[in-house]
Amino acid sequence: MTIHLESVNVRLGDVDVLREVSMELDVRTVAVIGENGSGKSTFARLLGGLVKRTSGSVSVLGVDPDRQAAELRRRVAVVFSNPDAQIIMPTVAEDVAFSLRSEKLARAERDDRVEAALARFGLSELATRSSHDLSGGQKQLLALCGAFVRRPELVIADEPTAYLDARNARRVADHLFEETGHRLVLVTHDLALAARCDAAVLFAAGRFTSVGDPASVIAEYEALLRC
Amino acid sequence: MLTLYRPGTGWLHRMPAGPKTVMLLALTLGVFLLPPVWWSAGVAAAASVVAYAAAQLHDGALGMRDLGRQLFALRWILLVMLVSQLLFLGPEPAVANATRVTSGLLLAALLTLTTPTTALLEAVERGLGPLRYVRIDPQRIALLLTITLGTVPVLARIATDVRAAQKARGARANLRTFVVPFLVISLKHADELGEALASRGVR
Protein backbone atom coordinates (compact mmCIF):
# COMPACT_ATOMS: atom_id res chain seq x y z
CA MET A 1 0.00 0.00 0.00
CA THR A 2 1.45 3.40 -1.00
CA ILE A 3 -0.47 5.56 1.44
CA HIS A 4 -2.52 4.53 4.43
CA LEU A 5 -4.11 6.98 6.89
CA GLU A 6 -6.26 6.00 9.85
CA SER A 7 -8.25 8.63 11.79
CA VAL A 8 -5.57 11.26 11.31
CA ASN A 9 -5.93 14.65 12.97
CA VAL A 10 -3.55 17.56 12.52
CA ARG A 11 -3.85 20.64 14.69
CA LEU A 12 -1.67 23.66 13.94
CA GLY A 13 -1.90 26.29 16.67
CA ASP A 14 -5.60 26.58 17.47
CA VAL A 15 -6.80 25.29 14.13
CA ASP A 16 -7.80 21.73 13.28
CA VAL A 17 -6.35 21.60 9.79
CA LEU A 18 -7.08 17.93 9.15
CA ARG A 19 -9.90 16.08 10.91
CA GLU A 20 -10.44 12.33 11.10
CA VAL A 21 -8.85 11.60 7.73
CA SER A 22 -8.80 7.92 6.80
CA MET A 23 -7.86 6.59 3.37
CA GLU A 24 -5.99 3.93 1.47
CA LEU A 25 -4.32 4.74 -1.84
CA ASP A 26 -2.40 2.40 -4.07
CA VAL A 27 -2.22 4.03 -7.49
CA ARG A 28 0.71 5.45 -9.48
CA THR A 29 -0.56 9.03 -9.65
CA VAL A 30 -3.08 10.74 -7.41
CA ALA A 31 -4.35 14.32 -7.55
CA VAL A 32 -5.32 16.18 -4.38
CA ILE A 33 -7.89 18.91 -5.04
CA GLY A 34 -9.98 21.30 -2.99
CA GLU A 35 -10.40 24.96 -2.15
CA ASN A 36 -7.75 27.14 -0.50
CA GLY A 37 -7.50 26.30 3.19
CA SER A 38 -9.16 22.91 2.76
CA GLY A 39 -6.11 21.03 4.10
CA LYS A 40 -4.52 19.85 0.83
CA SER A 41 -1.07 21.27 1.50
CA THR A 42 -1.10 20.04 5.09
CA PHE A 43 -2.00 16.59 3.76
CA ALA A 44 0.97 16.76 1.36
CA ARG A 45 3.30 17.93 4.15
CA LEU A 46 2.02 15.18 6.42
CA LEU A 47 2.91 12.57 3.79
CA GLY A 48 6.31 14.22 3.29
CA GLY A 49 7.03 14.13 7.03
CA LEU A 50 7.07 17.93 7.26
CA VAL A 51 4.04 18.17 9.55
CA LYS A 52 3.43 15.91 12.54
CA ARG A 53 0.03 14.37 13.14
CA THR A 54 -1.76 15.14 16.39
CA SER A 55 -3.37 11.70 16.46
CA GLY A 56 -4.03 8.70 14.23
CA SER A 57 -1.65 6.63 12.15
CA VAL A 58 0.11 7.34 8.84
CA SER A 59 2.03 5.01 6.57
CA VAL A 60 3.75 6.15 3.36
CA LEU A 61 5.38 3.34 1.34
CA GLY A 62 5.16 1.32 4.54
CA VAL A 63 7.07 3.97 6.49
CA ASP A 64 5.81 6.01 9.44
CA PRO A 65 6.81 9.62 8.60
CA ASP A 66 7.09 10.65 12.26
CA ARG A 67 9.12 7.67 13.48
CA GLN A 68 11.19 6.79 10.41
CA ALA A 69 11.98 10.25 9.07
CA ALA A 70 15.41 9.35 7.62
CA GLU A 71 13.96 6.37 5.73
CA LEU A 72 11.14 8.57 4.39
CA ARG A 73 13.60 11.26 3.21
CA ARG A 74 15.54 8.61 1.31
CA ARG A 75 12.49 7.37 -0.58
CA VAL A 76 10.22 10.41 -0.87
CA ALA A 77 10.88 13.79 -2.51
CA VAL A 78 8.78 16.92 -2.05
CA VAL A 79 8.44 19.76 -4.56
CA PHE A 80 6.80 23.04 -3.54
CA SER A 81 5.10 25.83 -5.47
CA ASN A 82 7.66 28.56 -4.72
CA PRO A 83 10.87 27.62 -6.54
CA ASP A 84 12.87 30.38 -4.82
CA ALA A 85 12.58 28.66 -1.47
CA GLN A 86 13.88 25.36 -2.85
CA ILE A 87 17.19 26.63 -4.16
CA ILE A 88 20.03 26.09 -1.72
CA MET A 89 23.26 26.27 -3.70
CA PRO A 90 24.55 29.15 -5.83
CA THR A 91 24.89 27.38 -9.18
CA VAL A 92 22.53 25.04 -11.00
CA ALA A 93 24.76 21.95 -10.99
CA GLU A 94 25.74 22.46 -7.36
CA ASP A 95 22.12 22.76 -6.34
CA VAL A 96 21.28 19.44 -7.99
CA ALA A 97 24.37 17.85 -6.40
CA PHE A 98 23.22 19.12 -3.00
CA SER A 99 20.36 16.59 -3.05
CA LEU A 100 22.93 13.77 -3.13
CA ARG A 101 24.96 15.00 -0.14
CA SER A 102 23.34 12.62 2.29
CA GLU A 103 23.98 9.62 0.00
CA LYS A 104 27.79 9.83 0.42
CA LEU A 105 28.46 8.85 -3.20
CA ALA A 106 31.89 8.81 -4.83
CA ARG A 107 32.54 12.07 -6.65
CA ALA A 108 32.50 10.46 -10.11
CA GLU A 109 29.17 8.76 -9.49
CA ARG A 110 27.69 11.92 -8.04
CA ASP A 111 28.86 13.95 -11.06
CA ASP A 112 27.43 11.35 -13.47
CA ARG A 113 24.05 11.41 -11.76
CA VAL A 114 23.96 15.20 -11.71
CA GLU A 115 24.91 15.36 -15.40
CA ALA A 116 22.22 12.83 -16.36
CA ALA A 117 19.57 14.66 -14.32
CA LEU A 118 20.51 18.04 -15.83
CA ALA A 119 20.29 16.55 -19.33
CA ARG A 120 16.90 14.99 -18.59
CA PHE A 121 15.45 18.33 -17.44
CA GLY A 122 17.10 20.33 -20.25
CA LEU A 123 19.35 22.22 -17.84
CA SER A 124 22.77 21.06 -19.06
CA GLU A 125 23.59 24.38 -20.70
CA LEU A 126 22.70 26.23 -17.50
CA ALA A 127 24.86 24.03 -15.26
CA THR A 128 27.30 26.77 -14.24
CA ARG A 129 24.71 29.59 -14.17
CA SER A 130 23.70 31.28 -10.91
CA SER A 131 20.59 29.41 -9.76
CA HIS A 132 19.02 32.56 -8.33
CA ASP A 133 19.21 34.31 -11.72
CA LEU A 134 17.09 31.73 -13.56
CA SER A 135 13.56 32.42 -14.76
CA GLY A 136 10.64 31.08 -12.70
CA GLY A 137 10.14 28.14 -15.07
CA GLN A 138 13.82 27.24 -15.05
CA LYS A 139 13.89 27.44 -11.24
CA GLN A 140 10.97 25.04 -10.96
CA LEU A 141 12.66 22.66 -13.40
CA LEU A 142 15.77 22.93 -11.20
CA ALA A 143 13.67 22.10 -8.13
CA LEU A 144 12.27 19.04 -9.94
CA CYS A 145 15.75 18.06 -11.07
CA GLY A 146 16.97 18.31 -7.46
CA ALA A 147 14.11 16.05 -6.40
CA PHE A 148 14.43 13.45 -9.16
CA VAL A 149 18.23 13.13 -8.97
CA ARG A 150 17.68 11.19 -5.74
CA ARG A 151 15.56 8.64 -7.65
CA PRO A 152 12.64 8.82 -5.22
CA GLU A 153 9.95 6.17 -5.12
CA LEU A 154 7.32 8.80 -4.40
CA VAL A 155 7.21 12.47 -5.44
CA ILE A 156 4.88 14.80 -3.57
CA ALA A 157 4.31 18.00 -5.53
CA ASP A 158 2.42 20.84 -3.85
CA GLU A 159 1.06 23.11 -6.58
CA PRO A 160 4.26 22.87 -8.62
CA THR A 161 2.83 24.82 -11.56
CA ALA A 162 1.23 27.62 -9.55
CA TYR A 163 3.77 30.32 -10.51
CA LEU A 164 4.37 29.20 -14.09
CA ASP A 165 3.15 30.22 -17.53
CA ALA A 166 1.33 27.65 -19.69
CA ARG A 167 4.44 26.43 -21.53
CA ASN A 168 6.52 25.94 -18.37
CA ALA A 169 3.56 24.45 -16.50
CA ARG A 170 3.21 21.85 -19.25
CA ARG A 171 6.94 21.04 -19.18
CA VAL A 172 6.90 20.60 -15.39
CA ALA A 173 3.75 18.47 -15.55
CA ASP A 174 5.19 16.27 -18.31
CA HIS A 175 8.24 15.55 -16.16
CA LEU A 176 6.07 14.76 -13.15
CA PHE A 177 3.93 12.33 -15.14
CA GLU A 178 6.85 10.72 -16.99
CA GLU A 179 6.98 7.03 -16.16
CA THR A 180 10.31 6.55 -14.41
CA GLY A 181 9.17 4.16 -11.72
CA HIS A 182 8.06 6.83 -9.24
CA ARG A 183 4.63 7.40 -7.79
CA LEU A 184 3.13 10.89 -7.64
CA VAL A 185 0.93 12.80 -5.21
CA LEU A 186 -0.01 16.04 -6.94
CA VAL A 187 -1.71 18.86 -5.03
CA THR A 188 -3.22 21.13 -7.62
CA HIS A 189 -5.89 23.69 -8.50
CA ASP A 190 -5.45 22.85 -12.17
CA LEU A 191 -8.30 20.44 -12.84
CA ALA A 192 -6.90 19.50 -16.27
CA LEU A 193 -3.77 18.27 -14.50
CA ALA A 194 -5.85 16.45 -11.90
CA ALA A 195 -7.69 14.68 -14.73
CA ARG A 196 -4.38 13.19 -15.94
CA CYS A 197 -3.97 11.27 -12.66
CA ASP A 198 -5.06 7.69 -11.97
CA ALA A 199 -7.13 8.80 -8.97
CA ALA A 200 -8.19 12.01 -7.25
CA VAL A 201 -8.84 12.97 -3.64
CA LEU A 202 -11.11 15.85 -2.65
CA PHE A 203 -10.64 17.87 0.53
CA ALA A 204 -13.16 20.33 1.98
CA ALA A 205 -12.76 22.20 5.28
CA GLY A 206 -10.06 19.91 6.65
CA ARG A 207 -11.96 16.75 5.84
CA PHE A 208 -11.27 14.24 3.12
CA THR A 209 -14.61 13.98 1.36
CA SER A 210 -14.08 11.59 -1.53
CA VAL A 211 -11.60 9.50 -3.48
CA GLY A 212 -11.84 7.73 -6.78
CA ASP A 213 -11.79 8.17 -10.50
CA PRO A 214 -10.59 11.78 -11.29
CA ALA A 215 -13.58 12.55 -13.55
CA SER A 216 -16.15 11.79 -10.86
CA VAL A 217 -14.18 13.51 -8.06
CA ILE A 218 -13.68 16.62 -10.23
CA ALA A 219 -17.41 16.63 -11.04
CA GLU A 220 -18.17 16.46 -7.33
CA TYR A 221 -15.74 19.35 -6.66
CA GLU A 222 -17.33 21.45 -9.40
CA ALA A 223 -20.77 20.80 -7.94
CA LEU A 224 -19.44 21.92 -4.57
CA LEU A 225 -18.12 25.13 -6.13
CA ARG A 226 -21.56 25.94 -7.57
CA CYS A 227 -23.21 25.80 -4.14
CA MET B 1 29.71 36.51 -3.54
CA LEU B 2 29.41 32.76 -3.95
CA THR B 3 28.04 33.08 -7.46
CA LEU B 4 31.27 34.74 -8.61
CA TYR B 5 32.84 31.39 -9.49
CA ARG B 6 33.89 31.17 -13.09
CA PRO B 7 35.12 27.90 -14.55
CA GLY B 8 38.75 27.92 -15.68
CA THR B 9 41.82 25.78 -16.18
CA GLY B 10 44.60 27.89 -14.61
CA TRP B 11 46.80 26.58 -11.80
CA LEU B 12 44.74 28.38 -9.15
CA HIS B 13 41.56 26.74 -10.48
CA ARG B 14 43.25 23.33 -10.39
CA MET B 15 44.70 23.77 -6.89
CA PRO B 16 42.74 21.83 -4.20
CA ALA B 17 40.35 24.06 -2.25
CA GLY B 18 41.92 23.38 1.16
CA PRO B 19 45.53 24.44 0.41
CA LYS B 20 44.23 27.30 -1.74
CA THR B 21 42.12 28.62 1.15
CA VAL B 22 45.09 28.42 3.52
CA MET B 23 47.40 30.14 1.00
CA LEU B 24 45.01 33.02 0.27
CA LEU B 25 44.14 33.33 3.95
CA ALA B 26 47.86 33.67 4.81
CA LEU B 27 48.32 36.24 2.06
CA THR B 28 45.28 38.21 3.21
CA LEU B 29 46.44 38.08 6.81
CA GLY B 30 49.88 39.31 5.73
CA VAL B 31 48.30 42.29 3.99
CA PHE B 32 46.06 43.09 6.99
CA LEU B 33 49.03 43.03 9.35
CA LEU B 34 50.99 45.67 7.43
CA PRO B 35 51.49 48.92 9.39
CA PRO B 36 49.30 51.94 8.45
CA VAL B 37 52.02 53.82 6.54
CA TRP B 38 52.46 54.93 2.92
CA TRP B 39 54.63 52.04 1.76
CA SER B 40 52.05 49.52 3.07
CA ALA B 41 49.54 50.88 0.57
CA GLY B 42 52.01 50.19 -2.24
CA VAL B 43 52.78 46.68 -0.98
CA ALA B 44 49.09 45.81 -0.52
CA ALA B 45 48.14 47.11 -3.96
CA ALA B 46 51.09 45.28 -5.53
CA ALA B 47 50.10 42.04 -3.76
CA SER B 48 46.64 42.17 -5.35
CA VAL B 49 47.95 43.02 -8.82
CA VAL B 50 50.58 40.26 -8.70
CA ALA B 51 48.09 37.70 -7.32
CA TYR B 52 45.50 38.40 -10.07
CA ALA B 53 48.20 38.44 -12.75
CA ALA B 54 49.66 35.14 -11.57
CA ALA B 55 46.29 33.41 -11.11
CA GLN B 56 45.89 32.57 -14.83
CA LEU B 57 42.32 33.83 -14.93
CA HIS B 58 42.40 34.02 -18.75
CA ASP B 59 40.32 37.21 -18.88
CA GLY B 60 42.31 38.50 -21.85
CA ALA B 61 44.07 41.17 -19.80
CA LEU B 62 46.34 39.15 -17.51
CA GLY B 63 43.81 39.14 -14.68
CA MET B 64 43.41 42.92 -14.69
CA ARG B 65 39.87 42.85 -16.11
CA ASP B 66 38.74 40.62 -13.25
CA LEU B 67 40.63 42.78 -10.77
CA GLY B 68 38.87 45.87 -12.16
CA ARG B 69 35.46 44.18 -11.85
CA GLN B 70 36.08 43.26 -8.23
CA LEU B 71 37.38 46.74 -7.47
CA PHE B 72 34.29 48.29 -9.06
CA ALA B 73 32.07 46.10 -6.89
CA LEU B 74 33.92 47.37 -3.80
CA ARG B 75 33.80 51.05 -4.79
CA TRP B 76 31.27 52.19 -2.16
CA ILE B 77 32.96 50.35 0.70
CA LEU B 78 36.25 51.85 -0.42
CA LEU B 79 34.79 55.35 -0.64
CA VAL B 80 33.11 55.23 2.80
CA MET B 81 36.24 53.82 4.39
CA LEU B 82 38.51 56.38 2.75
CA VAL B 83 36.36 59.43 3.50
CA SER B 84 35.64 58.53 7.14
CA GLN B 85 39.30 57.81 7.87
CA LEU B 86 40.50 60.91 6.04
CA LEU B 87 38.30 62.95 8.37
CA PHE B 88 39.40 61.26 11.61
CA LEU B 89 42.91 59.85 11.00
CA GLY B 90 44.54 61.89 8.23
CA PRO B 91 45.75 60.98 4.75
CA GLU B 92 48.53 58.42 5.45
CA PRO B 93 46.59 55.93 7.66
CA ALA B 94 43.43 56.51 5.61
CA VAL B 95 45.05 55.54 2.30
CA ALA B 96 47.08 52.71 3.87
CA ASN B 97 44.07 51.22 5.71
CA ALA B 98 41.70 51.53 2.76
CA THR B 99 44.24 49.90 0.44
CA ARG B 100 44.99 47.08 2.88
CA VAL B 101 41.31 46.25 3.45
CA THR B 102 40.52 46.46 -0.28
CA SER B 103 43.48 44.27 -1.10
CA GLY B 104 42.39 41.73 1.52
CA LEU B 105 38.88 41.59 0.03
CA LEU B 106 40.29 41.28 -3.50
CA LEU B 107 42.48 38.36 -2.43
CA ALA B 108 39.51 36.68 -0.73
CA ALA B 109 37.50 37.14 -3.93
CA LEU B 110 40.17 35.16 -5.81
CA LEU B 111 39.12 32.15 -3.76
CA THR B 112 35.45 32.40 -4.79
CA LEU B 113 36.39 33.22 -8.39
CA THR B 114 38.43 30.06 -8.80
CA THR B 115 36.68 27.54 -6.50
CA PRO B 116 33.24 25.94 -6.95
CA THR B 117 31.12 26.32 -3.83
CA THR B 118 30.81 22.55 -3.42
CA ALA B 119 34.61 22.21 -3.30
CA LEU B 120 34.82 25.13 -0.89
CA LEU B 121 32.22 23.57 1.39
CA GLU B 122 34.00 20.23 1.35
CA ALA B 123 37.23 22.04 2.32
CA VAL B 124 35.45 23.86 5.15
CA GLU B 125 33.99 20.56 6.35
CA ARG B 126 37.40 18.87 6.28
CA GLY B 127 39.03 21.86 8.00
CA LEU B 128 36.43 21.87 10.75
CA GLY B 129 36.56 18.06 11.10
CA PRO B 130 38.19 18.13 14.58
CA LEU B 131 35.08 19.94 15.90
CA ARG B 132 33.35 16.54 15.79
CA TYR B 133 35.23 15.70 18.98
CA VAL B 134 33.32 18.46 20.76
CA ARG B 135 30.03 17.31 19.16
CA ILE B 136 29.83 20.11 16.60
CA ASP B 137 28.83 18.93 13.13
CA PRO B 138 31.15 20.53 10.50
CA GLN B 139 28.69 19.67 7.72
CA ARG B 140 26.06 21.73 9.49
CA ILE B 141 28.41 24.71 9.82
CA ALA B 142 29.33 24.52 6.13
CA LEU B 143 25.64 24.35 5.24
CA LEU B 144 24.91 27.32 7.48
CA LEU B 145 27.56 29.36 5.65
CA THR B 146 26.12 28.40 2.25
CA ILE B 147 22.57 29.24 3.20
CA THR B 148 23.58 32.54 4.79
CA LEU B 149 25.38 33.65 1.64
CA GLY B 150 22.74 32.20 -0.67
CA THR B 151 19.97 34.04 1.16
CA VAL B 152 21.46 37.48 0.45
CA PRO B 153 20.13 37.71 -3.16
CA VAL B 154 16.76 36.33 -2.01
CA LEU B 155 16.41 39.01 0.68
CA ALA B 156 17.45 41.66 -1.84
CA ARG B 157 14.69 40.47 -4.17
CA ILE B 158 12.12 40.48 -1.36
CA ALA B 159 13.14 44.05 -0.48
CA THR B 160 12.75 45.12 -4.12
CA ASP B 161 9.33 43.43 -4.35
CA VAL B 162 8.10 45.09 -1.14
CA ARG B 163 9.25 48.52 -2.34
CA ALA B 164 7.61 47.94 -5.74
CA ALA B 165 4.34 46.88 -4.06
CA GLN B 166 4.41 50.03 -1.90
CA LYS B 167 5.01 52.24 -4.94
CA ALA B 168 2.22 50.50 -6.87
CA ARG B 169 -0.18 51.42 -4.08
CA GLY B 170 1.03 55.01 -4.00
CA ALA B 171 2.79 54.75 -0.64
CA ARG B 172 5.84 56.86 0.10
CA ALA B 173 9.08 55.34 1.34
CA ASN B 174 8.53 54.62 5.01
CA LEU B 175 10.67 52.41 7.24
CA ARG B 176 7.77 50.99 9.27
CA THR B 177 5.59 50.08 6.30
CA PHE B 178 8.64 48.51 4.66
CA VAL B 179 9.94 46.52 7.64
CA VAL B 180 6.69 44.72 8.53
CA PRO B 181 5.98 43.07 5.14
CA PHE B 182 9.69 42.52 4.58
CA LEU B 183 9.98 40.60 7.87
CA VAL B 184 6.77 38.64 7.30
CA ILE B 185 7.84 37.53 3.80
CA SER B 186 11.40 36.80 4.95
CA LEU B 187 10.17 34.62 7.82
CA LYS B 188 7.81 32.80 5.46
CA HIS B 189 10.76 32.23 3.14
CA ALA B 190 12.76 30.87 6.11
CA ASP B 191 9.93 28.41 6.87
CA GLU B 192 9.76 27.25 3.27
CA LEU B 193 13.53 26.93 3.06
CA GLY B 194 13.50 24.79 6.21
CA GLU B 195 10.92 22.49 4.63
CA ALA B 196 12.91 22.31 1.39
CA LEU B 197 16.04 21.38 3.33
CA ALA B 198 14.19 18.70 5.27
CA SER B 199 12.70 17.27 2.08
CA ARG B 200 16.18 17.08 0.52
CA GLY B 201 17.52 14.96 3.32
CA VAL B 202 18.95 17.62 5.68
CA ARG B 203 18.08 16.83 9.27
**Interface touch A99/B200, C-beta < 8 Å:** yes
Helix (H) or strand (E) holding B112: helix B91-114
Contact B117 A88 (CB under 8 A): no
**Which residues lie below 8 Å from residue B108, measured CB to CB, with a gap of 6+?**
B24, B28
B195·A80 Cβ contact <8 A: yes
- What is the model's pLDDT at position B2? 41
- How many CB atoms sit inside 10 A of residue B11's CB? 12
Which chain A positions have a beta carbon within 8 Å of B3's beta carbon?
Answer: 90-91, 130, 132-133
Does the CB of A163 have a partner CB in chain B at under 8 Å? Answer: no
Q: What average pLDDT values come out for chain B (203 residues) when binned by 10 residues?
A: 70 91 92 93 94 88 89 87 92 94 91 84 86 87 82 82 82 81 90 86 75
Mean pLDDT of A184-211: 91
- As a 3-state breakdown, chain B gives helix, strand, coil percent values, each rounded to 5, of 80, 0, 20
Least Cα separation, residue A77 to chain B (angstroms): 6
Cβ–Cβ contact B154 with A under 8 A: yes
Q: Chain A closest CA to B99's CA: distance in Å?
A: 29
Residue in B146, B153, B192 nearest the CB of A80? B192
Residue of chain A whose Cα is closest to the Cα of B122: A101
Q: Does residue A10 contact residue A53 with C-beta atoms inside 8 Å?
A: yes
Q: Which residue of B has its CA nearest to A91?
A: B3
> Is this model's pTM higher than 0.80 or not?
no
Is A12 within 8 Å of chain B by CB? no
pLDDT of residue A151: 93
Q: Express each pLDDT in A36-85 by its tens digit.
A: 988 999 999 999 998 999 999 999 999 999 899 888 988 999 998 888 88
Cα–Cα distance measured from residue A219 to residue A197, given in angstroms and rounded to the nearest whole number = 15
Q: Do B202 and A74 touch (CB under 8 A)?
A: no
Q: Please give the pLDDT value at position B59.
A: 80
- The residues pairing with A202 across neighbouring beta strands, listed in sequence order, are A33, A210
Amino acid letter, A88: I
pLDDT tens per residue across span A116-162: 999 999 999 999 888 888 888 899 999 999 999 999 999 999 999 88
Contacts of B189 in chain A (CB under 8 A): 84-85
